[in-house]
């Protein structure tokens, strides 16, 4: 199966919410054998304390039982084939991450988002996604993730994929297939949800032997997506977006932003060219 994200970027502010998002980024990097970059930015000069506050990759992997206690930094790559880079930048978080991505392209961002107060578009996560246009996994603060930070255990069993006639859902279904294969706890089920009068013709061959359920609903698209996520007990929602232009649209108060703000689980926004 083709790699989903050879390069993963995780912006962190060292908060508890970022700790949960970091666990998801690390789990994906392990499954992908990918390069994982952790970036912290502030408008104050980075200090030694800032470096010490970065989540410990080796310590986490030891807690997860994937490395022996006292392992070396080289063991992360030597034994698990994951390259890790930590970056501190003296700049605003949004500008720092955007500039970093311009110079160091990555394939996936994993971000913590705040659900309390304000709109996602006013948060760092929303603005970064707005500018980047790459695939993003949003891990809402307080939501039920599918990677346990304490031991790395996975609980991904149900993936909700809203589909429409446009954009093309094929890349999202391929990403769902990858997630089901590498991160899923069998048996994984994928629910295809369309809000409208008729279900689009969707080629589900990429999902292989994953169980697929098609659901048709009427009403407000976001309300129905959130209701389905709760009723289906979804562990992740995966949505197609129109790449850079799509992110410009969705972070102006429309569907994906509202889904992220209200979802009970992580939300992946898959950019479609």
Count structural domains, the chain: 2
Is 94 in the same domain as 127? yes
Q: Is residue 151 part of a domain?
A: no
147 domain residue, yes or no: no
Same domain, 202 and 99: no
Please check whether residue 136 lies inside any domain of the structure.
yes
46 with 109, same domain: the answer is yes
* 143-163 pLDDT per residue, tens: 879 999 999 999 999 999 999
Do residues 86 and 207 share a domain? no
Whether residues 160 and 136 fall in one domain: no
Are residues 122 and 251 in contact, defined by beta-carbon separation less than 8 angstroms? no
Return d(Cα 113, Cα 52) in angstroms, integer: 23
Any domain includes 52: yes
- Residue 80 buriedness (CB in 10 A; 0-12 / 13-18 / 19+): middle
Question: Is 273 among the domain residues?
Answer: no
> Is there a single domain that holds both residue 62 and residue 181?
no
Residue 190 sits in a domain whose CATH number is 3.40.50.620
Query: Domain range for residue 183?
Result: 156-241+250-265
118 in the same domain as 178 = no
Quote the CA–CA distance of 7 and 1 in Å, as a whole number. 16
Regarding whether 133 and 68 lie in a shared domain, the answer is yes
Retrieve residue 116's tokens: 């309390």
As given in the structure block, the two tokens for residue 193 are 């949800």
> 141, 112 in Cβ contact below 8 A?
yes
Each residue's pLDDT tens digit, 64-104: 999 999 999 999 999 999 999 999 988 888 888 888 998 99
Q: Is the pLDDT of residue 13 over 80?
A: yes
Question: Are residues 113 and 83 part of one domain?
Answer: yes
State the average pLDDT over residues 59-66: 97
Q: Is residue 261 part of a domain?
A: yes
123 and 96 fall within a common domain: yes
- Ramachandran bin of 73, using left for φ above 0, alpha for ψ from -120 to 50, beta for the remaining angles: alpha
> Which helix (DSSP H) or strand (DSSP E) does residue 172 occupy?
helix 170-182
Q: What's the pTM?
A: 0.90
Task: Give the per-residue pLDDT at 119.
Answer: 40
């Amino acid at each position: 199966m083709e790699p989903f994200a050879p390069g993963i970027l995780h912006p962190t502010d060292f908060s508890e919410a970022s700790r949960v998002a970091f666990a998801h980024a690390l789990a994906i990097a392990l499954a992908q054998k990918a390069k994982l970059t952790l970036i912290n930015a502030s408008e104050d000069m980075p200090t030694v304390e800032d470096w010490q506050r970065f989540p410990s990759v080796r310590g986490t992997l030891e807690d997860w039982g994937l490395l022996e206690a006292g392992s070396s930094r080289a063991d992360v790559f030597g034994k698990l084939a994951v390259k890790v880079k930590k970056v501190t930048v003296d700049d605003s978080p949004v500008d720092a991450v955007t500039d970093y991505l311009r110079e160091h392209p990555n394939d996936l961002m994993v971000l913590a988002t705040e659900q309390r107060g304000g709109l996602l578009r006013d948060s760092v996560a929303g603005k970064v996604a707005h500018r980047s246009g790459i695939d993003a996994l949003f891990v809402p603060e307080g939501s039920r993730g599918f990677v346990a930070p304490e031991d790395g255990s996975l609980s991904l069993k149900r993936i909700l994929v809203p589909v429409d006639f446009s954009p093309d859902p094929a890349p999202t279904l391929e990403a769902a297939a990858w997630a089901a294969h590498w991160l899923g706890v069998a048996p994984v089920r994928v629910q295809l949800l369309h809000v409208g009068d008729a279900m689009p013709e969707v080629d589900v061959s990429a999902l292989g032997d994953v169980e697929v359920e098609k659901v048709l609903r009427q009403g407000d698209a976001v309300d129905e997506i959130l209701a389905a996520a709760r009723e289906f007990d979804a562990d992740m929602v995966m949505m197609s977006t129109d790449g850079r232009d799509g992110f410009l649209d969705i972070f102006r108060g429309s569907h994906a932003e509202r889904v992220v703000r209200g979802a009970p689980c992580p939300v992946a926004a898959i950019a479609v060219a």
